[in-house]
Structure 1
Amino acid sequence: MDGSSKAHQISDLAELERIYGQPMAASIRKEIDYIHPHYQAFIEAAPFAVLATSGPDGLDASPRGDPAGFIHVQDEKTLLLPDRRGNNRIDSLRNIISDPRVAIIFLIPGIGETVRVNGRASIHNDPALLERFAIEGKVPHTVLKIAVEAVFFQCSRAILRSGLWKAEQQIERSSLPSLGTILSDLSGSEIDGEKYDADLPQRLKTSIY
């Protein structure tokens, strides 16, 4: 970092607060420590969420998706999140074992506002619990039980600025490197990228659950 960058680096909380000023009253009042029915409506309408965790090996932000309402509101202080099959890195679960703190952001297609939940997660594999979340006869490997500590909405500015839900913002998948290309290049051609790409559609179809 050069001298100019250091001169403009902010490392003092008071200076940061001077730049941004005080939060609006609504920014404070919107946060509660339980799932109000209004927030429950958003959670139950969301088919996609991002789960953030922290552990000794670093941070993780993991996309999660299923039919809307897949993260179940058990009660006003508890969420249940099924952990579907994936690549078995289980970065989020490894983190939760050592640090149960989690954050989740819920996104709903076409809706600008998002809802965030902070809490503490534990990992469960009770057969009866897993069966509650079966899809196409397949149960999740585990279910996360999240003890809710904070819930609040975030306004639509980020979604509006990004144009996330605008159809004209969509781009062709072919305009970006394929997964096979990425894997082939990063592995020094140890992984056959063309075969990976050719097999991927069928692999996704047969292994989504």
Structure 2
Amino acid sequence: MWIDSEEALKALYGEVGEASLVKEVAGLTPEYRALVEASPFCVLATAGPEGLDATPRGDPPGFIRVLDEKTLLIPDRRGNNRIDSLLNVVRDPRVALLVMVPGVAETLRINGRGRITTDPALLQPAAMDGKAPVTGLVITIESVYFQCSRALIRSRLWDPAARRERGDLPTPGQMLKGAKAGFDAEAYDTALPARLTATLY
């Protein structure tokens, strides 16, 4: 059976608890700021004419710079130059972040609007290995709240005993070969470690 109305969906669930409502605020509280500044990783979600995009962003803790309680800056590091997320932001400024801290089961959800900057005054403090990012994403926060720990507890994401070794899972080269017949997966995988090191920043 399909659920195709708000009323039908809400009828399946109970009332929203008080804590689930009061935790949502329009800017960073000191507690929420502490999580942002401790985070080395987030997932950035954007929307554009071609559809939705979710992409990982990561660097040492503090890479999500808090400019003030309503404004964040995320540097855009070197990558594959597809710039899917940035293209989306130019056309639709709505963005969402899922901020994570290793070992902490709660995550932080931030919704807002983004703009792309090339301002050296904003980008130079984000330099790594002497290289400032070409652009940065400035996010104006509209809402922020923490997500309870159930999903990470269920998934055992931070549990060392649940760690999965690569084993028989496909390598990056094998995944490329699966997308394009005849792709030289072995050569790609052999060169990948050195290429990642040389192009990290």
Q: For 1:200, which of 176, 192, 195 is the aligned residue?
A: 192
1:94 aligns with: 87
* Amino acid corresponding to residue 173 of structure 2 in structure 1: G
* Amino acid corresponding to residue 158 of structure 1 in structure 2: A
Aligned-partner Cα distance in 1 for 2:89–2:24: 24
Q: For 2:176, which of 168, 172, 183 is the aligned residue?
A: 183
Q: How many residues align?
A: 201
Aligned-partner Cα distance in 2 for 1:106–1:53: 15
By how many angstroms is 1:127 displaced?
2.0
By how many angstroms is 1:132 displaced?
1.1
Give the gaps of 5 or more residues in structure 2: none
Aligned-partner Cα distance in 2 for 1:98–1:22: 36
Give the gaps of 5 or more residues in structure 1: 1-7
Q: For 1:77, which of 70, 94, 99 is the aligned residue?
A: 70
By how many angstroms is 1:128 displaced?
2.4
Superposed CA offset, 1:137-188 (max 9, x none): 1111201110000010011000000000011111111320111011122111
2:34 aligns with: 41
* Amino acid corresponding to residue 40 of structure 2 in structure 1: P
* Amino acid corresponding to residue 149 of structure 2 in structure 1: S
By how many angstroms is 1:126 displaced?
1.4
By how many angstroms is 1:69 displaced?
1.2
* Amino acid corresponding to residue 170 of structure 1 in structure 2: R
What CA RMSD, in Å, does the superposition of the two structures yield over aligned residues?
Answer: 0.8
2:136 aligns with: 143
| 3-state SS of paired residue (1:138) | coil
TM-score by length of 1: 0.94
Is 1:106 aligned with 2:99? Answer: yes
Aligned-partner Cα distance in 1 for 2:57–2:89: 16
2:59 aligns with: 66
Aligned-partner Cα distance in 2 for 1:14–1:128: 49
Is 1:51 aligned with 2:47? Answer: no
| 3-state SS of paired residue (1:175) | coil
Is 1:12 aligned with 2:31? Answer: no
By how many angstroms is 1:14 displaced?
0.7
* Amino acid corresponding to residue 61 of structure 1 in structure 2: A
Q: For 2:25, which of 18, 23, 32 is the aligned residue?
A: 32
How many percent of aligned residue pairs carry the same amino acid? 53
Aligned-partner Cα distance in 2 for 1:181–1:138: 32
Aligned-partner Cα distance in 2 for 1:34–1:68: 20
